[in-house]
């Protein structure tokens, strides 16, 4: 036998030198490596990652059609911000904005922006609320030093982030045990002449329900009437903006309601596009504070921009347009109804186990199942189930506590997306039942296992 040792020449001939070598992790590499080596190194690292198809924690798209993927791959080299050089991409962005304004019942011509996701859209939308409020106050010679923004504890963390970054007082309506959304009675005591706006959520991160947008709109109309304060309502439709128009088309939450002045939606959630795309849509052009729009002379052409970032990819904008024309209302409705049907199937199965309580399954809700254990003295809890499911079966189903004052409630939440087929739902339900039986036998997860559990709702 020839006791040859593996050499770089062998690695070049047969494949992978990182089969036996440590990968670079700290020092900037002195020399490079072949493209094949680099590709295998990255791929082998990622093989240790969770499987996106079993990630039921995320709202974000984990599957797109092969044709959409071809468009994405073919356009990765196109910088979206170069409007002068890529005018068709800029035009396609405007088409998407017009289609979304139409979907959300804008009363006429309006404006909006493509963003990196709902977080950037919310920052920009809330900045516009602040600028418009300041202008109103200055026009009537009143103080502009103490702006506040009213929202519920059911919002995504980005709303508090906005308040901290841009110096606005957050007026947060706390949740209560058993009450995980807000309505007009919660909002009323917080609104005053320094309120730049109220934010309502359509499809909360925590349980997938909506705030009482209709009731809050009526309250703001009443305040306008009685106190002369015109307080705008922004709807955070990060997830719900692509769900309600198709599952609940007759339920008003959008520009059909007079005080709704701006809406954000994540293209990369139920817009069914891979990560990196969000939208901000105004009711009318006048709702976008003009001072926030920069007229730039860039490479010899004047361009108007309203963004926090500058350079970014075009691919997801093009993929969003692909989805709009590919699916239309009929296609989005079909996809949303399938997800909802499978969410109902999972909910039925969990209910039939007799171990769980479902949270608000009869209300308008995103296609997900939010649930918690029915009893207290079981020897295991929701965090243990999350651990057992991921350790044994690779399912990522998060367990988390709710925001104050519902912090003593622990819930689990399973997103039902396009790739979670009926067969997957049946398997998941069996795996949950089995996880509970195992945990009951062993008296919960071990302390060392509990330490590894990721808590938080995902997004």
Ligand X SMILES: Cc1ncc(COP(=O)(O)O)c(C=O)c1O
Q: Is 393 exposed, middle or buried (0-12, 13-18, 19+ CB in 10 A)?
A: middle
Which of 186, 236, 287, 384 binds ligand X (CB under 6 A)? It is: 236
Question: Closest by alpha carbon to 262, among 210, 305, 202?
Answer: 202
Between residues 270 and 380, which has the closer beta carbon with respect to ligand X?
Answer: 270
Among residues 201 and 370, whose Cβ is nearest to ligand X? Answer: 201
Closer CB to ligand X, residue 17 or residue 209?
209
The 194-223 site mask, x for binding ligand X (CB under 6 A), equals: -------x--xx------------------
From the CB of 376, what's the least distance to ligand X, in Å?
29
Q: State the Cα torsion 159-163-168-170 to the nearest 10°.
A: 60
- Do residues 181 and 240 make contact, with C-beta atoms less than 8 angstroms apart? no
Query: Under a CB-based contact definition with an 8 Å cutoff, are residues 111 and 263 in contact?
Result: no
From candidates 213, 238, 263, 436, binder to ligand X by CB under 6 A: 238
Shortest Å distance, C-beta 363 to ligand X: 16
Q: How far is the CB of 244 from ligand X (least distance, A)?
A: 13
Q: Which positions from 267 to 306 touch ligand X by CB under 6 A, shown as an x/- string?
A: -----------x----------------------------
Minimum gap (Å) between residue 62 Cβ and ligand X: 14
CB of 205 or CB of 340, closer to ligand X = 205
Q: Are 191 and 198 in contact (CB under 8 A)?
A: yes
- In angstroms, give the least distance from the CB of 266 to ligand X: 4
Regarding 184 and contact with ligand X (CB under 6 A), the answer is: no
Task: Name which of 339 and 445 has its Cβ closer to ligand X.
Answer: 339
Q: How far apart are CA 62 and CA 53, in angstroms?
A: 7
Q: Where are the alpha helices (DSSP H) in 230-312?
A: 244-247
Minimum CB distance to ligand X smaller for 83 or for 261:
261
DSSP state of 112: E
Compare residues 55 and 119 and give the one whose CB is closer to ligand X: 119
Total of residues contacting ligand X (CB under 6 A): 15
CB 176 within 8 A of CB 194: no
Q: How many residues does the chain have?
A: 459
User: What angle, rounded to 10 degrees, do the helices at 118-139 and 158-165 form?
Assistant: 50
In the range 116-175, which residues lie near ligand X by CB under 6 A?
Answer: 117-119, 156, 158
Sites for ligand X among residues 27-66 (CB under 6 A): 59
Containing 371, the helix (H) or strand (E) segment is strand 368-373
Tokens of 133: 């409020």
Pair 317, 78: CB distance under 8 Å = no
CB of 205 to ligand X, least distance (A): 4
Q: How far is the CB of 201 from ligand X (least distance, A)?
A: 5
What is the DSSP code (8-state) at residue 251? S
Which residue's CB is nearer to ligand X, number 194 or number 266?
266
- Least CB distance from residue 55 to ligand X, whole Å? 13
Half-sphere exposure of 172 (CA within 13 A, CB side): 17
Spatial strand order of the sheet with 195-201 comes to 112-115, 278-282, 260-266, 233-236, 195-201, 148-152, 169-173
The residue within the footprint of ligand X, chosen from 266, 365, 372, 390 (CB under 6 A), is: 266
Strand partners, 295: 304
Q: Given the complex with ligand X, which of 147 and 278 has the nearer CB atom?
A: 278
Give the footprint of ligand X on this chain (CB under 6 A).
59, 117-119, 156, 158, 201, 204-205, 236, 238-239, 266, 278, 459
């Amino acid at each position: 036998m020839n006791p040859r040792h593996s050499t770089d020449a062998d690695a070049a001939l047969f494949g992978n030198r990182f089969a036996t070598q440590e990968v670079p992790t700290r020092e900037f590499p002195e020399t490079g490596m072949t493209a094949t080596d680099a590709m295998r190194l990255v791929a082998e690292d990622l093989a240790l990652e969770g499987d996106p198809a079993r990630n039921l924690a995320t709202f974000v798209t984990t599957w797109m059609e092969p044709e959409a993927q071809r468009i994405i791959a073919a356009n990765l080299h196109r910088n979206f911000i170069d409007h002068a050089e890529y005018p068709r991409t800029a035009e396609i962005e405007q088409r998407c904005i017009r289609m979304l304004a139409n979907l959300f019942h804008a009363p006429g011509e309006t404006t909006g922006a493509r963003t990196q996701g709902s977080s950037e859209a919310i920052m920009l939308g809330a900045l516009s609320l602040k600028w418009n409020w300041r202008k109103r106050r200055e026009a009537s010679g009143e103080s502009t030093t103490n702006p506040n923004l009213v929202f519920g504890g059911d919002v995504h963390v980005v709303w508090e982030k906005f308040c901290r970054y841009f110096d606005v007082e957050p007026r947060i309506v706390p949740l209560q045990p058993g009450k995980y959304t807000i309505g007009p009675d919660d909002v009323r005591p917080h609104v005053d002449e320094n309120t730049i706006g109220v934010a309502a959520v359509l499809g909360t991160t925590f349980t997938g329900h909506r705030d009482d947008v209709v009731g809050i709109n009526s309250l703001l109309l009443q305040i306008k009437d009685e106190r002369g304060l015109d307080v705008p309502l922004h709807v955070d439709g990060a997830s719900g903006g692509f769900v309600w128009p198709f599952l609940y088309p007759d339920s008003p939450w959008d520009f059909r309601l007079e005080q709704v002045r701006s809406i954000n939606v994540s293209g990369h959630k139920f817009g069914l596009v891979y990560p990196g795309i969000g939208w901000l849509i105004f009711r009318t052009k006048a709702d976008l504070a003009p001072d926030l729009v920069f007229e730039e002379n860039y490479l010899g052409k004047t361009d108007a921009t309203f963004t926090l970032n500058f350079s970014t990819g075009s691919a997801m904008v093009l993929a969003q347009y692909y989805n709009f024309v590919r699916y239309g209302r009929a296609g989005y409705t079909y996809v949303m109804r399938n997800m909802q049907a499978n969410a109902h199937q999972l909910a039925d199965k969990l209910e039939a186990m007799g171990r769980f309580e479902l949270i608000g399954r009869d209300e308008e809700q995103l296609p997900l199942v939010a649930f918690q254990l029915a009893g207290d003295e079981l020897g295991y809890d929701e965090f243990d189930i999350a651990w057992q499911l991921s350790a044994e079966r690779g399912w990522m189903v998060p367990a988390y506590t709710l925001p104050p004052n519902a912090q003593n409630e622990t819930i689990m939440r399973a997103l039902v997306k396009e790739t979670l087929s009926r067969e997957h739902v049946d398997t998941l339900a069996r795996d949950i039942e089995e996880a509970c039986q195992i945990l009951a036998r062993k008296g919960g997860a071990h302390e060392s296992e509990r330490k590894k559990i990721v808590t938080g709702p995902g997004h």
